Structure 1
């Protein structure tokens, strides 16, 4: 009830009041459209991007796929030791302190290991239809696995530096032009990274340590003012 003539804050329910509509199960759990959540998101971190954001354009590779002769060091290393060159590429690309020996061993197992097994099988068992079929099947499987593994590394390199697919899909490039792709990736990172650039450093020698001490002879100077205050001579000595 209202006291002091003030209107009551409560609403009286009467029999003439129309009943509310029944709420069906599930009507309160409907999705809500939030524009901030339905906008564009970053593929790496998942954060929403502003409407004015434009992704960086893909850049071309600094060297072509057949430019192996431009860097003789990586060319000879990729020809005779492709597993070592691949391990060094992965070590440069990743920033999680991955040693080059781990990808090098994986590459050696699938590529060099498959070639060695095929050569040993052909040498000890001869070339017959069944042996040839097994050799080809094993080589194709190992080469396929190597193409996928090395193609993922090439894809990571393209995403890091916003490079175009050259000349086609990363896995297909390594399956068809594996040695050329390794050399191209090494030249690309070598041209973009400046780890070997020596920075000029300025060497500053600190000044000698100094201390303050009273004069050894304890000589007294004349009066410095009308009050007759004596002044003690101090001197600086370098150690």
Structure 2
């Protein structure tokens, strides 16, 4: 076999395969449809920009200031004492005088009768000695302005007396209501001690106080309101004077 016939037809040498492989790789890199690897760019890092007053910047890239609206803050007014009975309001261009009203002082009115003046109303003294529940019922109805009936309050007082012995706590509450309604002093001592130590005398004093203030203790709250309305209507009725003819 001669050298011209080697290699045989249809067969390739290792050198031919290597050349064809290099040619294929080069054509893939230079071809129009070849894929090229795009290098990845690094992500921009966050940069903190110093904010100016009443401005806000967008982070990253070129910072664009955005105006931010803020409500004006009003100064808190302060009071500066200038002279006794007079104060000035600070915070303005010129002080504004503020005159304070005088403090309200509750003026207490004395009781019309004393705690031991039971002899001023002998009938009530006898009734309270034997049946104190009746006197207490009359007082409770007027002190509650008709919200409590005389019989209901008296029955509760009796039940507390026989089952607990603390009926004075119930009657003490109505003495406090009576004092608050007419601005009466806590005399001679605390209301609780007055009803605990001498409840009959306390009931008589409260009974006389309501009676001296114009209440009819036998009519109750509704009867007293009707009587008061009749008296006001009678006082409002004015009789016109008689017309006198001309005297020649």
TM-score by length of 1: 0.50
Task: Find the structure with the greater CA-based Rg.
Answer: 2
**TM-score, length basis structure 2:** 0.48
